[in-house]
Amino acid sequence: MFKITKTQINSRIFIALNALIFLVIFNYPFLGASYHAAAQTENTSVLFLLALPALLFALLQLFLSLTLWPRTEKWVLTILYIVSSAVLYAQINYRVVFDYTMIQNVFETDSSEATSYLSTSTVVTLGILIISTVGWLWPVKVEYSSVFKELTQRFMATGATLAVAIALTLSCYAEFAATARNNPELKRQIIPFEWVDNTYDYWRNQLITDQQEFVVLDSAPILDKKGHEKPRLTIMIVGETARADHFGYNGYARDTNQYTAPFQPVYFKDVISCGTATAVSVPCMFSDLTRSDFSSNSAKNRQNLLDLAQDSGMDVTWIDNNSSCKGMCLRQNYERIDTDTSNPLCDGDYCFDEILVERLQAKLNQLPDKDALIVLHQIGSHGPTYYRRYPDAYRIYTPDCPRSDIQNCSSQELINTYDNTIAYSDYINSKIIELVDATNLDSTVVYVSDHGESLGDGGVYLHGLPYRFAPEAQTRVPMWVWTNHHAESLRDCLAPFTEPTLASHDNVFHTLLGMMGISSTAHKPELDLTSHCSKLAAL
């Protein structure tokens, strides 16, 4: 019988080795980006090239010295390595930054959306990375001294490393200051500090949110029915990941809006989104909070557009073919599309958005005799599996990119695939207009996307970059309005705001209140795009 003996190593060396792994393997993109940024300044010194990794190594050593203790150290490191491997993969391949918003997206997504990012290359790459970093931990036996001696030795080891690193840093402080000041996004790439810190903040905020008192904006909103003999129907279509510059209405070379064009909706060019991710933009759209003062936690604990509509007497329903309503429909009728149905529009993971037309028809068949607001949340152009968002019959632009590791497709293939999603969404939106127009109700359809998408522009993919650094591809979204009554008055009224960037998600809450004829103390006329139109009755 062979006896397997574990390699023994003292705790300080164990900590130092793991700090070195995090430095060399997980932070090489950060170091590379920092060196590149420093090279753009004058007189980059050799000292800076040495000081940066030395300082980061010292901070990693300090972090691990505080978190790794007997009986739990290998479990803690296993978790850190697994999550950090996923973060590194996303960072390298998609230029994703794991700031607070991205962490919020991770925790608030569903399994279908999460698995869409998996591919053979993803699994293999992550597998190799995880095995190579985690595999050596478990055969090792870590030796610890007595508590007092252990603490003293850790303090001395970490203190010595920090002293050297700080000395090097101070010797080239001007270069550190200039690089950090001119490139504030760099710190968001440091692993594991950024994702650990934002994960802590996210869960702390969830606890705080649960303890917050609900904010009532208006306890008695009033629904004005003047000028309407029959009920009004408002359809709010929340688009997903549609960027404005790929809309034909926005001057795009391809006619991606051929289906809705005959209905002549009023189109707003380059609407400014509230965020670069669904978890921010969706609640922001339905909240009275503007982008400058918005927080997801505050939005979930106050009345929103759906609450005010329902409290005014309207019938309110949210029909979801996406991940969720992000806390905006907690007090309304909510219908989630079941992807596991036998419906031919569903494959077990997703359903094509055409299923929203079916569900809308069913809802209209049982609509009560009163004003109604129905929100349709599309899956739209959600990546990276864009090719799963449209049926073969709407595979207009070819060759497309039938894979989730989109960075391995050519630029044209990726654009073709994305444009197919935009065109298919336009087809769905045209069917929605046809459906509501046939009800013989005073109907209005509003479409607005939550955020845009990067398609490899500048090496960036997907969305979710910190707003301050996000490209316009992620923050400029399409929006349009169609109605079957007061159409010309509406067009004249909204014309001043159809030029680029003259409208934003900040306008959605207040404009819809005005369009639906809801008088409320929460309404701000200066943010209502229709408030200046004396000739326009509530839609």
Please tell me the predicted confidence (pLDDT) of residue 207: 75
Q: Which two structure tokens, joined as six digits, stand for 483? A: 């109605």
Domain co-membership, 171 together with 48 = yes
Domain co-membership, 332 together with 436 = yes
Domain end, chosen from 208, 241, 256, is at 208
Residue 108 lies in a domain: yes
Q: What is the mean predicted confidence (pLDDT) over 315-322?
A: 97
Residue 387 lies in a domain: yes
- Among 32-41, 189-198, 352-361, the range with the most confident prediction by mean pLDDT is 352-361
DSSP secondary structure string for all residues of 93-137: HH----SHHHHHHHHH--HHHHHTT--HHHHHHHHHHHHHHHTTT
- Among 120-134, 161-175, 498-512, the range with the most confident prediction by mean pLDDT is 498-512
User: What is the rounded distance in angstroms from the CA atom of residue 63 to the CA atom of residue 53?
Assistant: 15
Model confidence pLDDT, tens digit, residues 408-417: 899 999 999 9
Please tell me the predicted confidence (pLDDT) of residue 1: 42
Nearest to 528 by CA among 536, 242, 313: 536
Cis-peptide into 384, omega within 30 deg:
yes
| Angle ∠(133,137,142) on CA atoms, nearest 5 | 145
Please tell me the predicted confidence (pLDDT) of residue 200: 87
User: Which structural domain, as residue segments, surrounds residue 388?
Assistant: 232-527
Q: What is the mean predicted confidence (pLDDT) over 130-158?
A: 91
Domain co-membership, 269 together with 187 = no
**Angle between helices 46-67 and 28-39 in degrees, nearest 10:** 150
Using the structure block, give the residue that is written with the tokens 């505080």: 66
Contact yes or no for 247/419 (Cβ under 8 A): no
Residue 220 lies in a domain: no
Residue 332 lies in a domain: yes
Residue 202 lies in a domain: yes
Domain co-membership, 192 together with 292 = no
- The CA distances from residue 307 to 226, 301, 353, in Å, are 22, 12, 26
pLDDT band for position 349 (50/70/90)?
Answer: confident
Q: What is the mean predicted confidence (pLDDT) over 164-181?
A: 81
Q: What is the mean predicted confidence (pLDDT) over 315-326?
A: 94
299 compared with 173, residue with greater pLDDT: 299
Residue 538 lies in a domain: no
Domain co-membership, 184 together with 249 = no
Domain co-membership, 37 together with 88 = yes
Q: What is the mean predicted confidence (pLDDT) over 396-402?
A: 96
Which residues touch 296 (CB under 8 Å, ≥6 apart)?
104, 279, 280, 283, 326, 327
Q: How far is CA 491 from the centre of its chain?
A: 32
Q: What is the mean predicted confidence (pLDDT) over 483-503?
A: 89
Domain co-membership, 293 together with 400 = yes
Domain end, chosen from 162, 193, 208, is at 208
Please tell me the predicted confidence (pLDDT) of residue 211: 66
Please tell me the predicted confidence (pLDDT) of residue 243: 97
Least reliable range by pLDDT among 62-76, 245-259, 335-349: 335-349
Please tell me the predicted confidence (pLDDT) of residue 2: 46
| Angle ∠(443,445,448) on CA atoms, nearest 5 | 165
Task: Provide the β-strand partners of residue 141.
Answer: 8
Domain count, the chain: 2
Domain co-membership, 273 together with 318 = yes
Model confidence pLDDT, tens digit, residues 422-450: 999 999 999 999 999 999 899 999 999 99
Residue 120, Cβ density class (10 Å: 0-12 exposed, 13-18 middle, ≥19 buried): exposed
Q: What is the mean predicted confidence (pLDDT) over 366-380?
A: 95
**Angle between helices 46-67 and 173-182 in degrees, nearest 10:** 80
